[in-house]
Amino acid sequence: MRVMVSSPLLDRIKKRDARVGVVGLGYVGLPLGMAFAEAGFPVMGLDIDKRKIDKIEKGESYIKHIPSAPLSELSRSGKLKATTDFAKAKDMDCVIICVPTPLTASREPDMSYIIQTGEALAPHVRPGQLFILESTTYPGTTEEVLKPLLEKNGLKAGKDFYLAFSPEREDPGNKSFNTKTIPKIVGGYSPECSEVAAALYGSALKEVVPVSSTRVAELAKLLENIFRCVNIAMVNEMKMLCDRMNVDVWEVIQAASTKPFGFMPFFPGPGLGGHCIPIDPFYLTWKAREYEFHTKFIELAGEVNWQMPYYVVQRTMEALNKNKQTLNGAKVLCLGAAYKKDIDDMRESPSLRIMTLLAEKGADLSYHDPYVPELHKGHGFNMEMKSVPLKPETLGQYDAVLILTDHSDIDYAMVVDRAKVVIDTRNATKGVSKGREKVTKA
């Protein structure tokens, strides 16, 4: 990577007095902003959600796995501030964009959040600034979508301001890795852009991985998530086959995992959740059509995983049928609404799709999740619900208990003992022996 002869911004980054703005204060933006503030940079968070701004000003975390104590310290010291006023971006030396990139109803990329952010920032772009996009997206987004928006006032990327892409790699609830320790891929619009962006991340994070372009960085993010998507689809399909063959797929995976080379275990579930893995395949397949390329393998994996909620509902109907009951009118308790264990993250959670399908078939639904006290309408979910207590004396009131998220602090032995029927999509009951005849794997 070529080193620039001189750059005032590089000097400010090295001194840690470059002002860093983070747009989007969710699961990605908040911990990233905190990491830069803890490294000594003055940080300003920007978000349209006034609730988040108020929480940050009070030093209160609104994300379960981020404790309030360090946030409170950063807020109290003035190292981390937050605002809804996007005009403040003009005062920032570096602006990092961490906004959602969901799918449309027809499963095509929804660029609206990136476009709205670019339009909001455009009037405030000034010479010498650095703009970095972190939102997961298709290769070409930084140059084709964001760059023209930031250049609206005549300034040019790579000449008047710096532009780069660095994919977020957050894994909420992961106790082994965090924002500071996960290697950071960085690809710039030009070598100079790459150098400045890498210097910024290198000043706050443990390891930076420079690549040759924004497109390489964008596609690297898709590849690492599509890798998981494809393998999860394969094992989900294997699970459905094992059910027909009356073989325990979890035992099969455990046995295969003893091979010390050439095998990596992936595990089945009720469907994919989180912001990236359920979405990324469709971002790439959409972009591939522009090049007259049909990504059959990737699309098939995406379709298999999208169909898993329907399979779970079918297995629930079968389990009730064994008990001489129908799903229509049955009282069903769903355990878990978050997309994975021990977090409060609801993004693309398969639980919501499964609950919707159950309700459409006439089930009388309740749910329990210690981390998600309420469910609200939105993103295809049309119910307002509150988490009910999980008590031994009330479990018998339900015709079926459906385990959708295997939170660690739920007593699954008690659930199996007291419930009439249990449908387990996560192998959460693997250590339970008493009452195994009640459990249906799904």
Condensed to tens digits (0 to 9), the pLDDT of residues 319-332 reads 999 999 999 999 99
Residue 47 falls within a domain, yes or no?
Answer: yes
Residue 303 falls within a domain, yes or no?
Answer: yes
Structure tokens of 269? 């579930």
The last residue of one of the domains, among 212, 244, 262, is 212
Instruction: Answer yes or no: do 313 and 414 share one domain.
Output: yes
pLDDT in tens, 265-314: 999 999 988 777 888 888 999 999 999 999 999 989 988 999 999 999 99
**Domain assignment of residue 122, given as a range:** 8-212
Instruction: Answer yes or no: do 168 and 260 share one domain.
Output: no
Instruction: Answer yes or no: do 172 and 278 share one domain.
Output: no
Q: Supply the pLDDT for residue 6.
A: 58
Q: Supply the pLDDT for residue 264.
A: 96
Instruction: Answer yes or no: do 94 and 50 share one domain.
Output: yes
Residue 337 falls within a domain, yes or no?
Answer: yes
Instruction: Answer yes or no: do 238 and 181 share one domain.
Output: no
Residue 220 falls within a domain, yes or no?
Answer: no
pLDDT above 90 covers a percentage of the chain that reads: 88
Instruction: Answer yes or no: do 288 and 192 share one domain.
Output: no
Instruction: Answer yes or no: do 197 and 291 share one domain.
Output: no
Instruction: Answer yes or no: do 105 and 244 share one domain.
Output: no
Instruction: Answer yes or no: do 336 and 197 share one domain.
Output: no
pLDDT in tens, 18-70: 999 999 999 999 999 999 999 999 999 999 999 999 999 999 999 988 999 99
Residue 2 falls within a domain, yes or no?
Answer: no
Instruction: Answer yes or no: do 116 and 169 share one domain.
Output: yes
Sheet with 400-403, side-by-side order of all strands: 364-368, 331-335, 400-403, 422-424, 439-441
Q: Supply the pLDDT for residue 104.
A: 84
- Dihedral of the alpha carbons of 228, 231, 234, 235, in degrees to the nearest 10: -90
Q: Where residue 160 sits, what CATH number does that domain have?
A: 3.40.50.720
Average per-residue pLDDT for the chain: 94
* Residue 1 predicted with pLDDT over 80: no
Residue 174 falls within a domain, yes or no?
Answer: yes
Residue 3 falls within a domain, yes or no?
Answer: no
pLDDT in tens, 100-136: 998 887 888 999 999 999 999 999 999 999 999 999 9
Structure tokens of 363? 């089930």
Mean pLDDT of 402-406: 97
Residue 219 falls within a domain, yes or no?
Answer: no
Q: How far apart are CA 172 and CA 215, in angstroms?
A: 26
Which residues have a catalytic role annotated? 276
Closest CA to 92 of 147, 36, 130, 144: 130
Instruction: Answer yes or no: do 195 and 274 share one domain.
Output: no
Instruction: Answer yes or no: do 291 and 322 share one domain.
Output: yes
Work out how many domains the chain is built from and give that number: 2
* Residue 410 predicted with pLDDT over 50: yes
